[in-house]
Structure 1
Amino acid sequence: MKTVQRCEWVEGKPHYYVAYHDYEWCQPTHDEQELYQWLLLESFHVGLSWQLVLSKYENFQAAFSHFDYRQIAQYQEQDVLRLMQDRGIIRHEGKIRAAITNAQSFLKVQEEFGTFDAYIWSFTDGKVIQGEGAGIPSRTLLSDQVSKDMKKRGFKFIGSVTIYSYLQAIGVVNDHDRNCAFK
């Protein structure tokens, strides 16, 4: 039986990580809810492993109103306290508060651009940036530009490295290895 060629870094990872690689990572995303979902998860990724964040995906989904940014934008102090008690997620107060702030900023971007999708894809004129397939950078001029602009718009926990991961997660950047069947 022939095995499917995947990116080298996914070798030996748990099934949920392989599924993320195969069906989510670097796949162009235009759905507003998914765009926010990956932004929230990437902000919790700061300083931690992506495997840890993905292992808690269902817990995050339940804790954060199924990633409904409209609801999250309305969260109050009692919601922060509730989330700080939730052992199923990463209980970092700054990141929890950032998720709320980012939902509010997400809505403001929608007001200005019509959709967050129109905003985030405008940085590449709607085109997917193909990676070189020979080592993945942790940040680029594009991620520097997007991060800087998002910070001006009030987003938190979205430095250039985080935004580069985000751009991969939503498919603006395709960094699959050259020989990966999912490129």
Structure 2
Amino acid sequence: MTIRRCAWAEGDAQMIAYHDAEWGVPVRDPRLLWEMLVLEGFQAGLSWRTILHRRDGFRSAFDQFDPDRVARYDQAKIAELMDDARIIRARAKIEATIGGAKIYVAMRDAGEDLSAWLWGLAGGAPVRNSGIDVPASTPISEAISKALKARGFKFVGPTIAYAWMQAVGMVNDHAPDCFRRDQV
């Protein structure tokens, strides 16, 4: 029996594993939500395949996306990251990651839960779309993008926000014939 997947996942073992186990599964862990937001931001102008194949390198370079540690990065650490071939060496994206960590920590220290805030912006529960005409952005991703930017996050435009929403299961855009569509 042939397993049907979303077409974007075919032909690459890492993409297949990501699709089958992670993509579209609702994530409530605030640290993982932030990690995925950072990775989607690094994807800007690139492919998800490129980022996924470097994800372990990103995790290592950014201290497993520990926001407390990343928030303390200085110019020396930025220079070190700019020399790290395991990641995408884009200064603006690296600085956005550090800035995002500072925002995450400030929210947490003020008693705000990043997960509750983001899921609240998304309506609180996953949306199941048709999976046929997948948009690049939606009014919800535009609202999330606007709210993230208002907090000071960078590389969080509506298209990035929508791709992130798909990745973390806020929307289910698995193709109609994909075996994961009814599982997530």
TM-score category, normalised to shorter length: over 0.9
Aligned partner letter, 1:24: E
In the alignment, which residue of structure 2 is the partner of 1:11?
A: 10
Q: Does residue 70 of structure 1 match 2:68?
A: yes
Number of equivalences: 181
Unaligned runs of 5+ in 1: none
Asked if the contact 1:128–1:174 (Cα under 8 Å) also holds between the matched residues in 2, the reply is yes
- Cα deviation 1:108-160 (Å, max 9, x = unaligned): 33345631110110023321011111021111101100000110000011111
The answer for the alignment partner of 2:128 in structure 1 is 130
Please tell me whether residue 173 in structure 1 is matched to residue 166 in structure 2: no
Give matches, 1:49-60, under 5 Å: 49-60=47-58
In structure 2, the gaps of 5 or more residues are none
CA distance in 1, matches of 2:139, 2:111: 22
Q: 1: CA distance between counterparts of 2:122 and 2:158?
A: 16
Q: Is the Cα contact below 8 Å between 2:122 and 2:144 reproduced in 1?
A: no
1:42 aligns with 2:58: no
- Structure 1 segment 134-145 matched on structure 2, within 5 A: 134-145=132-143
- The corresponding residue for 1:32 is 30
Structure 2 CA distance for aligned equivalents of residues 119 and 55 of structure 1: 30
Secondary structure at the aligned position of 1:164 is classed as helix
Paired residues of 1:113 and 1:119 also in contact (CA < 8 A): no
Q: Judge conservation of contact 1:64–1:72 (CA < 8 Å) in 2.
A: yes
Q: Root-mean-square deviation (CA), in Å?
A: 1.2
Is the CA contact (8 Å cut-off) linking 1:139 and 1:161 kept in structure 2? yes
After TM superposition, give the deviation of residue 9 of structure 1 in Å. 2.2
- What letter is aligned with 1:22? D
Alignment identity in percent?
Answer: 37
- Aligned residues of 1:95 and 1:157 also touching (Cα < 8 A): yes
TM-score normalised by the chain length of structure 1:
0.94
Task: Output the amino acid matched with 2:45.
Answer: G
**What is the alpha-carbon distance in structure 1 between the residues aligned to residue 138 and residue 110 of structure 2?**
26
Q: So what's the TM-score if we normalise by structure 2?
A: 0.94
Whether the aligned pair in 2 keeps the contact of 1:109 and 1:119 (CA below 8 Å) is: no
Please give the alpha-carbon distance, in whole angstroms, between the structure 2 residues aligned to 1:150 and 1:109.
12
Equivalent residue for 1:153?
151
